[in-house]
Amino acid sequence: MPLVLDGTTGFNLPLGAEIGVGTNSPAGNGLHVDHTAGATLRLTRLGTSTSHFVQLETDGAHGTLRSEGDLTLDSDNGNWRLKDSGTSVFEISRDSNTSVNLYNAISDSDIIISKSNKTSPCLTLAPSFTYI
């Protein structure tokens, strides 16, 4: 049975409710979006052009976070972590409002900055580099 609202009516779901879009049995907590060709969750601000959006999409194997404008990651504690299978591999942090720190979370490994072909390193920051 479809849910039809008149455009002015909101609705609330009870605590712990799950919403399924494209699935008869939602899994996890909250919203579960599924589609045979890959799921897309698009957030668009009402009243503006539909070309202004933030989109989260997956093809079942890879995920993409996309914005038609600036994409801002805002952390109130000053730490941003990139993870691989739940393990932190690279971190960016702010140090008492004076410095930005880049941190390689993999023990004794390098940070390599490469050209666009990914085969020619421009700069390698090794664990034993000298501090200035």
HEC string for the chain = CCCCCCCCCCCCCCCCCCEEECCCCCCCCCEEECCCCCEEEEEECCCCCCCCEEEEEECCCCEEEEECCCCCCCCCCCEEEEEECCEEEEEEEEECCCEEEEEECCCCCCEEEECCCCCCEEEEECCCCCCC
pLDDT band at 132 (very low <50, low <70, confident <90, very high): very low
pLDDT of 53 strictly over 60: yes
Predicted local distance difference test score (pLDDT) of residue 7: 67
Whole-number mean pLDDT of the chain?
76
pLDDT band at 9 (very low <50, low <70, confident <90, very high): low
pLDDT of 73 strictly over 80: yes
Model confidence pTM above 0.95 = no
